[in-house]
C-alpha cells in the first residue's frame, strides 16, 4: 500500500515508480505479491465473519463483514486483471 501511495504522490511531481507498473520482471513479481496479499486478506475477512458469528455479534454488524469482503474481492479482481495485463504485454 505504501508503494502505491508513494507512486501516487511522486506522479504529482512528474516522477514515479514506473517499475512497479511495467510488464518487466520486477513489475510482475510485485503484482504477484499484491495478489498474494489480497488473497490472504480474503482469508482474514472470512475469519472475521466467522469469529463474529461465533461470538454472537449484533445483527447490525453484518454489513461490516460484508463490506470488507466486497472490497477485498474487488481489490483481488483488479489486481488479477493487472497481473494478466502485464503478462500479456510481455508477449
- Each residue of 63-87: b (16+ CB within 10 Å) or e? eebeebbeebeebbeebeebbeebe
Global pTM value: 0.78
Instruction: Quote the cell numbers at residue 42.
Output: 480474503
**Distance between alpha carbon 27 and the CA centroid of its chain, in Å?**
15
Q: CA-CA distance, 5 to 7, in Å (whole number)?
A: 5
Q: For 7-59, what is each residue's pLDDT tens digit?
A: 777 777 776 666 676 778 888 998 999 999 999 999 999 999 999 999 999 98
Tell me the pLDDT band of 6, cut-offs 50, 70 and 90. confident
- Counts of helices then strands in the chain (DSSP H, E): 3, 0
Amino acid at each position: 500500500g505504501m508503494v502505491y501511495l508513494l507512486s501516487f504522490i511522486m506522479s504529482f511531481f512528474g516522477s514515479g515508480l514506473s517499475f512497479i507498473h511495467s510488464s518487466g520482471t520486477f513489475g510482475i513479481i510485485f503484482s504477484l505479491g499484491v495478489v498474494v496479499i489480497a488473497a490472504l486478506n480474503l482469508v482474514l475477512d472470512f475469519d472475521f465473519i466467522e469469529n463474529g458469528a461465533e461470538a454472537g455479534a449484533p445483527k447490525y454488524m453484518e454489513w461490516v463483514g460484508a463490506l470488507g469482503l466486497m472490497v477485498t474481492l474487488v481489490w483481488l479482481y483488479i489486481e488479477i486483471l493487472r497481473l494478466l495485463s502485464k503478462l500479456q504485454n510481455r508477449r
